[in-house]
Amino acid sequence: MEINALETRVNSIGLSNQEVKVDIQAREYALACGAIAMFGEKYGEEVRVVSIGTFSKELCGGTHAKNSRDMFPFVILSESAISAGTRRIEAVAGIPAIEVLQAGWAGLQSVASLLNVKTLSASY
């Protein structure tokens, strides 16, 4: 999936206002029910399963969000290869994402001013 398409998809999930559910389940049961495990992670017999609606179901997950809207906006910072066929995406969400967007907008305004060109205005 293209980076922009992925970012748009995650943001649409964020706006969908889905409850984030956390359950403790037997590892084998969670995997059989479709939970995704992270590569290289070690899991005990009981695992923490984080689900966001029908969009995501993962072991552990590390999230402390209570709702998908807590992860909006979502901004991808970078992507890279970590092994054959596996990509790593680094991203921010919430207030840190807003700060990234604001910094990017300020940078765009500065460059536009130097080049004497217009950018989008509030009337778009």
Per-residue burial over 60-98, b = 16 or more CB atoms within 10 Å of its CB, e = otherwise: ebebebeebeebbbbbbeeeeeeeeeeeeeebbbbeebe
Q: How many structural domains are present in the chain?
A: 2
Pair 79, 118 in one domain:
yes
State which residues form the domain around 101. Answer: 1-14+69-124
Query: Which residue in 79, 66, 74, 63 sits closest to 96, CA to CA?
Result: 74
Pair 94, 115 in one domain:
yes
Pair 45, 82 in one domain:
no
In the chain, pLDDT over 90 holds for what percent of residues? 70
List per-residue pLDDT tens for the chain, 124 residues long.
589 999 999 999 999 999 999 999 999 999 999 999 886 678 889 999 999 988 889 998 677 788 999 989 999 999 998 888 888 899 999 999 999 999 999 999 999 999 999 887 655 5
Residue 31: its pLDDT value, please?
93
CATH number at residue 54: 3.30.54
Pair 113, 83 in one domain:
yes
Contact call for residues 71 and 50 (beta carbons, < 8 A): no
User: Who contacts 87 (Cβ-Cβ below 8 Å, separation ≥6)?
Assistant: 79, 80, 81
Report the side by side order of strands in the sheet with 20-26. Answer: 20-26, 46-52, 56-59
